[in-house]
Chains A and B, each alone.
Chain A
Amino acid sequence: MRAYNQKAWFFVLPVLMLVAFNALIPIMTVVNYSVQETFGDNVFFWQGLDWFEQLLRSDRFHAALGRQFLFTGLILLIEIPLGVAVALSMPRKGIWVPVCLVTMALPMLIPWNVVGAMWNIFTLPEIGLLGYFFNNILGIPYDMTQDPLAAWITIVTMDVWHWTSLVVLLSYAGLVSIPDDYYRAARIDGASNFAVFRYIQLPKMKTVLTIAVLLRFMDSFNIYTEPFVLTGGGPGNSTTLLSIDLVKIALGQFDLGPAAAMSLIYFAITLLVSWVFYSVMNNQSDGEG
């Protein structure tokens, strides 16, 4: 019989402790809240799965979730193709490469709340540069504080401005890794520019694009700071995304139980979509092998 050395468990202990403190215990606290009701003073009543049931049937939650998917869908539809297009038109060699790269990286270096504040001031109808330009010079009514459509256009544009660079940089990294011989061979084979994109550039960018989509999905699905500073969820509830609604419930109304249940569902959705997307992309590339 083989003698097992049980000492190894001892060495895993520090990692277990670390994971417990930074992930397990906080999540369990939320789980704990999600099945109880409290009126303060640290007094809790057992509630079971009531909060989950209530939430899943609530119109308010459906509306926020819908807005969230709309927002994430819109920015992915714009940022991914736009990012690829910008990356394709960037120079591959020469002194302009660092200039382009730094310029591209700039928006990402700005703190999220500053981005929100910047765009708020920029787009205010009377004093903002853009708002003033639209209303008073072009004569197009544009007021993101009153008009839901204008508010949506503004938050989407802000996110595109802030995060397209990430897609650009990732795609660019994929593009520069393609050896020159591929382009030479394609020229000799008589391939059109579209064929070069479809059969050389796109396949080589696939891995980084998968990562770009995943990162942009997770980030935009959990976005809070920028729209909160820009519109505060308004006008009305028109730009109240999931995270903004969650904070309203948890800290505004102090409904800890429902907020905790909502957090867990929110987390589950993010995890599920990311996992499905990643597995589908991975399975496809396995099939190629």
Chain B
Amino acid sequence: MAKITLSHLKHSYEPQPKGPDDFALQEINLEWQDGGAYALLGPSGCGKSTLLNIISGLLIPSEGQIFFDDRNVTALSPDQRNIAQVFQFPVIYDTMTVYDNLAFPLRNRGVEETIVNKRVSEIAEMLEVEGILKRRASGLSPDNKQKISMGRGLVRDDVNVVMFDEPLTVIDPHLKWKLRSKLKELHHRVNATMIYVTHDQTEALTFADRVVVMDKGQIVQIGTPVELFERPEHTFVGHFIGSPGMNIIPCMIEGGVAKFMGQTIDLEGPIRSGSSKNCEIGIRPEFISFGESNLRGAVKKISDVGRHKVVEVVLGDHKIAGIVEDAAPEQGETIGVILQKNQTRVYRDGWLATEMAG
């Protein structure tokens, strides 16, 4: 168990990186608290697997250091770091039984057979695989195989961190939910730091206490699921999290107020000063309502997604989506759009530029 610190970490797959474009990971400084449940969320190719492999020691970073507590582990190999990692596709040792699979990491480290037996039984009970311990691992279903992979990660009680690299990719949808809650439960029981890599926001938000959002090799925001949802610090986060994502519409800043279609838009708080003219207004569809307003537009589309309806209204050249719970306006109707003041923010060059009032 340890706190993990990433200090000035950078990585490039090129032997001689020239510009920032050659780096799969831009400079990263980050601390993972001991015992936390983290999710690393981002689209494919954003560098999250690279970051994971650097923490586990499968990759040596081009620049920067990794510390487990105060120990510099940058140059150590994966087995010296005492970490566990579960991969996208289940890795099992075909010729061994389930029991031997789970015991493998312990036996490799010369752990006594009585302790091996105790640990394996505990893990098997947690994962609910006691019934198949004697079976050969090769004939198992994908979800059981992935459970065994997870079990091999959790069986050692001295691991510093357990990492999951999109572990539910090959699992059937109806089992994903079960395995995810199992993981959450395991986190409470074993108390190890866990890092869960995924591009699926639901997985990230349900598993983690804190979510690290990455885009293009950079960390865009770190926060609790609620923070990410309510106050995205970057338009990318607003867009990536939520369904549908945040409405982003361009605006003009004149004399400290934001204007869109000639109308002054009320914001959550004052706008921070900045030079760039590239400003946008961001508001989540959940905080949009329809009624008396100077912002008027035609309803273009209404999609019924079950729990609620998503209404798309055309304002000038832009579409804005709002969520209504009950009676939706008619398609083609011209209606007023109301933006909830305390949830309306301005982003400058993509980054949050309003301050919360009070």
Q: Does A203 reach chain B (CB closer than 8 Å)?
A: yes
Whether B91 pairs with A288 at a CB distance below 8 angstroms is no
Q: Chain A contacts of B193 at CB under 8 A?
A: none
Q: Does A21 reach chain B (CB closer than 8 Å)?
A: no
Q: Which of B94-150 contact A (CB under 8 A)?
A: 94-96, 104-105, 108-109, 136, 138-139, 149
Q: Residue of B at shortest CB range from A204?
A: B94
Given A200-B93, A288-B94, CB of A190 within 8 Å of CB of B87: no
Name which of B78-86, B274-282, B292-300, B328-336 contacts chain A.
Answer: B78-86
Contact of B108 among A195, A200, A289 (CB under 8 A): A195
Whether B85 pairs with A199 at a CB distance below 8 angstroms is no
Contact size range, B: 20 to 34
Q: Does A279 reach chain B (CB closer than 8 Å)?
A: no
Contact of A189 among B94, B95, B152 (CB under 8 A): B152
A191 CA to B139 CA in the complex, in Å?
23
Contact of B58 among A179, A187, A288, A289 (CB under 8 A): A187
Whether B85 pairs with A184 at a CB distance below 8 angstroms is yes
Given A188-B78, A288-B136, CB of A181 within 8 Å of CB of B94: no
Q: Which of B23-58 contact A (CB under 8 A)?
A: 53, 56, 58
Contact size range, A: 10 to 19
Whether B91 pairs with A203 at a CB distance below 8 angstroms is no
A182 CA to B101 CA in the complex, in Å?
13
A189 CA to B109 CA in the complex, in Å?
9
Given A181-B91, A185-B149, A188-B56, CB of A288 within 8 Å of CB of B105: no
Whether B139 pairs with A181 at a CB distance below 8 angstroms is no
A6 CA to B79 CA in the complex, in Å?
68
Whether B149 pairs with A289 at a CB distance below 8 angstroms is no
Whether A188 pairs with B84 at a CB distance below 8 angstroms is yes
Q: Does A192 reach chain B (CB closer than 8 Å)?
A: yes
Q: Which of B192-242 contact A (CB under 8 A)?
A: none
Q: Chain B contacts of A289 at CB under 8 A?
A: 136, 138-139
Contact of A288 among B78, B139, B153 (CB under 8 A): B139
Whether A203 pairs with B79 at a CB distance below 8 angstroms is no
Contact of A181 among B83, B89, B152 (CB under 8 A): B89
Whether B91 pairs with A185 at a CB distance below 8 angstroms is yes
Task: Say how far A81's CB is from chain B's closest CB, in angstroms.
Answer: 19
Task: Say how far A119's CB is from chain B's closest CB, in angstroms.
Answer: 40
A182 CA to B149 CA in the complex, in Å?
11
- A residues at B contact (CB < 8 Å): 179, 181-182, 184-185, 187-192, 195, 199-200, 203-204, 287-289
Instruction: A181-B91, A189-B108 are known; give 9 further A-B pairs, CB within 8 A.
Output: A184-B56, A184-B78, A185-B152, A187-B77, A188-B84, A188-B153, A191-B108, A199-B104, A200-B93
What 5 pairs across the A-B complex have the smallest Cβ distances? A185-B91, A190-B108, A181-B87, A190-B79, A189-B105
**Contact sample, A vs B, 17 pairs, CB 8 Å cutoff:** A181-B88, A184-B56, A184-B58, A184-B85, A185-B152, A187-B77, A188-B79, A188-B83, A188-B85, A190-B108, A195-B108, A203-B94, A203-B95, A204-B94, A287-B136, A288-B138, A288-B139
